[in-house]
């Protein structure tokens, strides 16, 4: 090799291996296939590539294949001009394929829709095809994933159709680049440099999202700032939209309901006021002029101090429909959030969204989706599914999951969230009898919904590895995979991600899949076992604060949720209490109401029970509480021990960073156990169960801890 070339190759390899080590490459690492037999078989099957050209999207697909295959197969695969050569990977839209191939795959093609794709063997070739260019790109990423995870591609036949329409990230990013509930650094949107400067991250972000089928992004915080709707920002948003477009990612913005007053100089934002309606119409037209495929608006209205139609005596229907009309001519949508509860409403917070929205079923315009959090309170380590799923057959309901770990240990704790998502999606609403799962509500099959979607509150920031904790990437990845197919198992997702990210070695993949799957139960155990919830310290939500009870809004106090007293603990949501269970179908309500059938995982969510109440294992509630907290700590110790054995399979940096984080996680798990149990002991007046390690510090000590600079805290609302 020429000296200079050799030098540059070394530098390139160094850069590549550095980015492997720091996590920037995410799950798109494309390491050389180590298994010799597979490598030979892959090389034999893919001796050349025939790729349709034309659009930018197709060019991206072509580039990705070059990048992926040359690295995975460690050889350059040439492009050819004919699709009829043997052992060729043929990539293109259906219309572009030879008539003979089209005839062969006709049956599959008939059901191919949306941006789905088909990967199939045809004679000695492999075909990646779709109806749209974007489908082709999705197929390319999927195919590369097959190789990365070392699956056989002989006789491959894979038909993939996304099960939801809108697969979107919600960034809670502010214009000053702070990120509400963000734990991975500043916002990746560098507003002051836009539109002139296109950061490489924007492209890499789009590529990563496209690789898992995410097709939309809301750039701004739900606690919205109207300024993003001014011309100064619209041109910046346009610049981002232009970058994302070829990757199939549409841009959306949060619409602050009072924007007509704040930036439009109107005296009202009443949705029934003709001037207000005209203002929004003009605003939508202005945005669409710059961004013809703008996705639409996400709105948090009349919730936690945000303005909304109720400020003018109007309803959510009035507000949502008014905005929906402005984007409808441009094929845009409005995603209207159901996360509402009021300090003026004395009923159980868990009931309020349902009470407000369910009577409005069928009243929203066709292009409105109601975005509902997975549970009725707020992204807790465990919640029962939100009763609105299963109660609004005439309204498109979008799922909202939180990927950023606000209530689950920030970016410090290893918690695999797809396990939580799966639990919710698999839950049975019984809306039309047994088998009416939440997944069927979300993919629209239960009531034949015309438009469907899933939103994930992003955990992305400007940290070099994007998500702070390296395993936070698995939550972004897993969210994307589930938005595409809400029926995927979390285990499959974990395994896939581990193979893509770290290693294909079975001695790594098997124990680590197990670790990831169990990590979710661990955090439930050491934070909020047996159905407890919202015990996090106030404001920042970092660490335990079950004693907080002095906030002006009752439902912001942890004491509101656990209701511990001398008798016992838990929130009675049965008919003898708040009766929140009546919002579920009768089969589900009965299951939760009856102590014999209520899963112990939800016990204190639905019941207030005496400290001496006996659980299924014959031990008292008090003892079980201590045992669960202890189990959580033990599980983290188990995670640590498992990780020690992973050293041989990964780089020393990869090992070290997770090792350090697991140490912090263990320390914090113990903190949760000790602080919570000491506090609850002031009511139970009982000894800790003997299996529980005794706290080394006092309750006063834990109560004295203050964290004014914990990350992600929301800026002052105005």
Query: Total number of residues binding ligand BDP (CB under 6 A)?
Result: 11
- Site map 251..290 versus ligand BDP, x via CB under 6 A: ----------------------------------------
Secondary structure (3-state) at 232 = helix
Contact 126, 50 (CB under 8 A): no
Say how far apart CA 315 and CA 257 lie, in whole Å: 13
Say how far apart CA 19 and CA 29 lie, in whole Å: 9
List the one residue from 96, 167, 181, 449 that touches ligand BDP (CB under 6 A).
181
Of the candidates 313, 293, 314, 371, which has an alpha carbon nearest to the alpha carbon of residue 339?
371
Tokens standing for residue 672: 């949760």
Taking CB under 6 A as the criterion, which residues in 699-718 touch ligand BDP? 714
Q: How far is the CB of 339 from ligand BDP (least distance, A)?
A: 5
* Closer Cβ to ligand BDP, 563 or 714, answer by number: 714
- Site map 304..323 versus ligand BDP, x via CB under 6 A: x-------------------
Say which DSSP state 257 is in: T
Contact 141, 128 (CB under 8 A): no
Q: How far is the CB of 545 from ligand BDP (least distance, A)?
A: 14
Contact 144, 33 (CB under 8 A): no
Q: DSSP string of 597-651?
A: TS-GGGHHHH--EETT-B-TTSSBHHHHHHHHHHHHHHHHHHHHHHHHTTGGGS-
Q: How far is the CB of 52 from ligand BDP (least distance, A)?
A: 42
Taking CB under 6 A as the criterion, which residues in 399-418 touch ligand BDP? 406
Catalytic residue, chosen from 235, 304, 579, 634, is 304
Using CB under 6 A as the binding rule, whether residue 537 contacts ligand BDP is answered as no
Residue 39: partners with Cβ closer than 8 Å, 6 or more residues away: 32, 33, 73, 74
* Closer Cβ to ligand BDP, 208 or 218, answer by number: 218
Catalytic residue, chosen from 64, 173, 356, 406, is 406
Taking CB under 6 A as the criterion, which residues in 371-400 touch ligand BDP? 378-379
Residue 402: partners with Cβ closer than 8 Å, 6 or more residues away: 181, 373, 379, 456, 457
List, in sequence order, every residue forming a beta bridge with 159; answer none if it has no partner: 118
* Closer Cβ to ligand BDP, 697 or 714, answer by number: 714
Q: How far is the CB of 181 from ligand BDP (least distance, A)?
A: 5
Residue linked to tokens 């850069």: 15
Using CB under 6 A as the binding rule, whether residue 180 contacts ligand BDP is answered as yes
Tokens standing for residue 124: 């000695």
Using CB under 6 A as the binding rule, whether residue 339 contacts ligand BDP is answered as yes
Could you give the count of Cα atoms lying within 13 Å of 142 in the half-sphere of its Cβ? 29
Q: How far is the CB of 311 from ligand BDP (least distance, A)?
A: 17
Contact 533, 377 (CB under 8 A): yes
Catalytic residue, chosen from 160, 262, 378, 443, is 378
* Closer Cβ to ligand BDP, 75 or 538, answer by number: 538
Q: How far is the CB of 150 from ligand BDP (least distance, A)?
A: 40
List the one residue from 83, 88, 223, 490 that touches ligand BDP (CB under 6 A).
223
631 annotated active-site: no
Q: How far is the CB of 180 from ligand BDP (least distance, A)?
A: 5
* Closer Cβ to ligand BDP, 62 or 300, answer by number: 300
Q: How far is the CB of 14 from ligand BDP (least distance, A)?
A: 41
* Closer Cβ to ligand BDP, 72 or 301, answer by number: 301
Contact 166, 214 (CB under 8 A): no
378 annotated active-site: yes
Using CB under 6 A as the binding rule, whether residue 420 contacts ligand BDP is answered as no
* Closer Cβ to ligand BDP, 302 or 681, answer by number: 302
List the one residue from 51, 145, 283, 300 that touches ligand BDP (CB under 6 A).
300
Specify whether the backbone of 409 is left (phi greater than 0), alpha (psi in -120 to 50) or beta: left
Say how far apart CA 626 and CA 691 lie, in whole Å: 8
* Closer Cβ to ligand BDP, 540 or 673, answer by number: 540
Could you give the count of Cα atoms lying within 13 Å of 94 in the half-sphere of its Cβ? 22
SS (H, E, C) 420-445: HHHHHHHCECCECECCCEHHHHHCCC
Tell me the residue nearest to ligand BDP as measured from the CB. 378
Q: How far is the CB of 431 from ligand BDP (least distance, A)?
A: 25
Using CB under 6 A as the binding rule, whether residue 170 contacts ligand BDP is answered as no
Using CB under 6 A as the binding rule, whether residue 222 contacts ligand BDP is answered as yes
* Closer Cβ to ligand BDP, 378 or 428, answer by number: 378
Burial of 100 (0-12, 13-18, 19+ CB in 10 A): exposed
304 annotated active-site: yes
Residues in contact with ligand BDP by the rule CB under 6 A: 180-181, 222-223, 300, 304, 339, 378-379, 406, 714
Q: What residues are annotated to the active site?
A: 304, 378, 406
């Amino acid at each position: 090799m020429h000296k200079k070339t050799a030098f540059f190759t070394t530098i390139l390899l160094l850069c590549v291996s550095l980015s492997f080590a720091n996590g920037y490459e995410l799950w798109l690492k494309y390491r050389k296939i180590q298994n010799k037999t597979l490598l030979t078989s892959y090389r034999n099957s893919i001796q050349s590539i025939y790729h349709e050209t034309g659009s930018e999207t197709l060019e991206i697909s072509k580039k990705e294949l070059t990048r992926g295959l040359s690295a995975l197969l460690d050889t350059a695969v040439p492009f050819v001009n004919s699709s009829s050569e043997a052992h060729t990977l043929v990539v293109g839209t259906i219309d572009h394929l030879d008539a003979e191939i089209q005839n062969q795959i006709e049956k599959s093609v008939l059901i191919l829709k949306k941006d789905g794709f088909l990967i199939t063997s045809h004679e000695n070739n492999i075909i990646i095809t779709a109806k749209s260019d974007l489908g082709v790109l999705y197929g390319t990423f999927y195919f590369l994933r097959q190789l990365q995870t070392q699956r056989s591609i002989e006789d491959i036949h894979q038909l993939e159709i996304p099960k939801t329409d809108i697969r979107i990230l919600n960034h809670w990013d502010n214009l000053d680049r702070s990120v509400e509930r963000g734990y991975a650094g500043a916002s990746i949107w560098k507003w002051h440099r836009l539109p002139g400067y296109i950061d490489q991250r924007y492209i890499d972000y789009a590529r990563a999202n496209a690789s898992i089928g995410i097709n939309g992004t809301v750039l701004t915080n739900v606690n919205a700032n109207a300024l993003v709707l001014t011309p100064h920002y619209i041109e910046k948003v346009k610049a981002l939209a232009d970058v994302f477009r070829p990757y199939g990612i549409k841009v959306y913005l949060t619409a602050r309901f009072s924007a007509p007053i704040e930036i439009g100089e109107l005296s009202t934002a009443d949705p029934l006021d003709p001037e207000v309606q005209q203002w929004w119409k003009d605003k939508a037209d202005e945005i669409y002029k710059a961004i013809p495929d703008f996705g639409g608006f996400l709105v948090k209205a009349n919730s936690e101090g945000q303005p909304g139609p109720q400020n003018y005596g109007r309803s959510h229907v009035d507000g949502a429909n008014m905005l929906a009309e402005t984007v409808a001519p441009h094929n845009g949508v409005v995603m209207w959030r159901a996360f509402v509860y009021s300090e003026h409403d004395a009923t159980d917070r868990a009931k309020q969204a349902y009470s407000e929205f369910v009577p409005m079923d069928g009243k929203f315009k066709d292009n409105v989706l109601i975005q509902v959090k997975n549970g009725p309170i707020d992204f807790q380590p465990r919640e029962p599914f939100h009763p609105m799923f299963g109660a609004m057959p005439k309204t498109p309901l979008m799922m909202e999951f939180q990927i950023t770990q606000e209530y689950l240990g920030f970016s410090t704790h290893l918690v695999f969230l797809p396990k939580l998502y799966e639990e919710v999606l698999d839950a049975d609403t019984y809306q039309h009898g047994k088998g009416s799962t939440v997944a069927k509500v979300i993919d629209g099959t239960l009531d034949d919904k015309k438009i469907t979607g899933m939103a994930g509150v992003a955990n992305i920031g400007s940290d070099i590895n994007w998500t702070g904790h390296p395993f936070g990437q698995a939550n972004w990845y897993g969210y994307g995979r589930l938005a595409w197919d809400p029926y995927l198992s979390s285990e499959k997702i974990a395994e896939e991600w581990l193979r893509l990210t770290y290693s294909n070695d079975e001695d790594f993949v098997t124990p680590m899949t197990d670790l990831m799957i169990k990590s979710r139960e661990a955090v439930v155990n050491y934070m909020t076992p047996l159905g407890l919830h919202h015990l996090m310290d106030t404001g920042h939500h970092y660490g335990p604060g079950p004693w907080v009870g002095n906030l002006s809004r009752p439902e912001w106090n942890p004491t509101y949720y656990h209701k511990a007293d001398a008798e016992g603990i838990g929130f009675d949501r049965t008919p003898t209490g708040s009766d929140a269970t009546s919002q579920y179908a009768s089969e589900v309500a009965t299951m939760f109401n009856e102590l014999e059938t209520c899963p112990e995982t939800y016990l204190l969510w639905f019941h207030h029970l005496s400290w001496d109440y006996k659980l299924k294992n014959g031990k008292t509630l008090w003892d079980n509480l201590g045992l669960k907290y202890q189990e959580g700590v033990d599980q983290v110790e188990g995670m640590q021990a498992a990780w020690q054995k992973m050293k041989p399979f990964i780089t020393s940096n990869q090992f070290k960073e997770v090792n350090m984080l697991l140490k912090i996680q263990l320390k914090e798990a113990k903190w949760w156990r000790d602080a919570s149990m000491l506090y609850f002991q002031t009511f139970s007046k009982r000894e800790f169960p003997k299996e529980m390690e005794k706290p080394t510090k006092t309750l006063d000590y834990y109560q004295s801890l203050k964290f004014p600079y914990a990350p992600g805290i929301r800026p002052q609302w105005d």
